[in-house]
Structure 1
Amino acid sequence: MEKHRTPKKQGLAITAEALFMLNLLLPVLPLFALGIIYFRHKNDPSLFVRSHVIQPWIAALISTALFFIINLVAALAGGYTSLDNLISIHSLVALEVYTLLVILPFLVPGLLSLTKAMSGQAWNYPIIGRFL
């Protein structure tokens, strides 16, 4: 593991982790910015940069896919029929399911990873890091 991190690399890692955290609250938009960072730095020789760029990108893709799946199920169950019916029982259940099954499990590793990025340490996400 590298001892010295340049401020640029540490700032890049913090940005990637912060965009992942933002993607949990506002899916899709931060994913594009995180994708740009990922495609620019996915082959960086630094383990620190790779661990803080590739893993949030994969986690953001998974959480965004789950967001769309949960909302698709809610739409097919009869929610989102019109703008007047946007806040229905189906949309509220979808929001609750997304909060409990996506935001909370992804929030803890994201916070730990953001903390490690701020302290200049490489870190692996619990499940995603095993496959990289």
Structure 2
Amino acid sequence: MQDYAPPTDLLSGRTILVTGAGEGIGQAVSQRLAAHGATVILLGRTLSKLESVYDQIESAGGAQPAIIPLNLEVATERDYLELAEKLEAEFESLEGLLHNAAQLRLLSRIDDYDLQTWFRV
């Protein structure tokens, strides 16, 4: 099992949204998802960082990612609705989500958060 290497097309045809994709864990995961065939939606607050990750994915031969600049910490309910509309309009489906942005305040189920706390998380 130590020599296991997933096939490069393991995630082919799948679309995955990564928040906090501009640096750190989000950047690394985005690159690995793309390396295994996923179309990655890069979401983060700094456009230049997202563009850098985009360029890295394309240079490595990954599927063309998408960029959505959005600061989730200060986003409004309307921003979230517009995000949902954009995802629905531009992508056939969404098979995965890595919610890596902002901060984790409480260790609990998602449906235990009120709307304002969820916006910050």
TM-score using structure 2 length: 0.32
Alignment TM-score, normalising by the size of structure 1: 0.30
Give the structure with the larger helix fraction: 1
Which of 1 and 2 has greater Rg?
Answer: 1
Query: More strand by proportion, 1 or 2?
Result: 2
